Amino acid sequence: MTNTTDPVTLRREGAVAVLQLNRPHALNALDVTTARAFHAACTTLAADDSVRAVLLCGAGRSFGVGGDLAALRNEPGAVALQLIEPLHASIQLLTRLRAPVIAALQGAVAGGSLSLALAADIAVAADDARFTLAYAGVGASCDVSGSWHLPRLVGLRQALAIALLNEPLDATEALRLGLVNRVVPAAALAGEAMVLAQRVATGPTQALGHLKRLLRQSLDTDLPTQLDAERDAFVACTQTQDFNEGLAAFFARRPPQFQGR
C-alpha cells in the first residue's frame, strides 16, 4: 500500500513495517472502509516472513478516536458488524505475528482505537496523549479486544474503573497504570517509536514470536500445560540459525547478529 489517500497505509523501512491509520481529517476514526483496509494490511503482514517488527501509528494529531459514530446512526447493528468483524480478525492476525508490534500513540486515543492500541506488544505514548475507553459514554460495551487486554494490563479492579467511570487519563497516568510502556515528548514520538521498532527488528524474530505467544497464553493456561509449551518452544529455538549465532556470539564475547531465521 503506497497511496497516501488510502485510509490505511503500509510501508517498509528495512525490516520494520509501518502500519498507519490515515484519516487525519477525521482523527483516524474507524469506519467500515478503514476497518476493511486495516484487515487487508494485517493479512499482508501475516504472509510476509521478512517483517521483523511492526510500527502501528496514526497520521496527524491523533492516534484515533475510535469508531466513526456518524456511520452508526443508520442501521447501527448491521454497520457495527461490518466494522467489528474485520477489526477482530485483524487483532488475531497482529497478536499472532512473530514480529513484535510497537504502537506509537499521540493525541486522542479512544474507544476502539484504544482497544487496538492495547493489543500491541509495546506502547509508546506522546506526553500529549489522552486515553478514554469511551464506550460507556455512547451506551456501548467494548470491542476490538478491549475487554480482553485491559484487565490483563492493569488488573481487574483498575479495568472496571476505567470502563465504568469512563474518565479520561493523561499519559502520565496511563504509564502508571501500565496502559503504555514509555512516555516521550510529542515531538520525539515518531523517532523514539521507530528506534524501538528497529531495535526489536534486529532481534531473534522466531524466538521473540515464541516469547509473545507464551506470555499471551500464560494467563489462560495451567502450569503443566505452560511448562510443556515452554519446553517445546525452547527446543524449537535451538534449531534456528539465530540460536547458533547467539551461542557463537556469547562465547566470542561479541554482540550477536541475528537474521530472524
Tell me if residue 210 is catalytic: no
Question: How far is 254 from 85, CA to CA, in rounded Å?
Answer: 47
| CA distance linking residue 62 with residue 21, whole number of Å | 10
Catalytic entry in 143, 149, 210, 242: 143
Q: How far is Cα 233 from Cα 128, in angstroms, rounded to an integer?
A: 40
Catalytic residue among 48, 88, 127, 170: 88
Of 86, 71, 4, 96, the residue nearest 41 (C-alpha)? 86
Q: Where are the beta strands (DSSP E) in 24-132?
A: 53-58, 101-105, 108-110, 122-126, 130-132
The DSSP bridge pattern shows strands 8-13 and 16-21 to be: antiparallel
C-alpha angle with apex 46: 226 to 113, nearest 5 degrees?
A: 85
CA distance 174 to 183: 9
Q: Which three cell numbers stand for residue 224?
A: 503443566
Q: Please give the Cα distance from 64 to 30 (Å, whole number).
A: 8
The residues annotated as belonging to the active site are: 88, 143
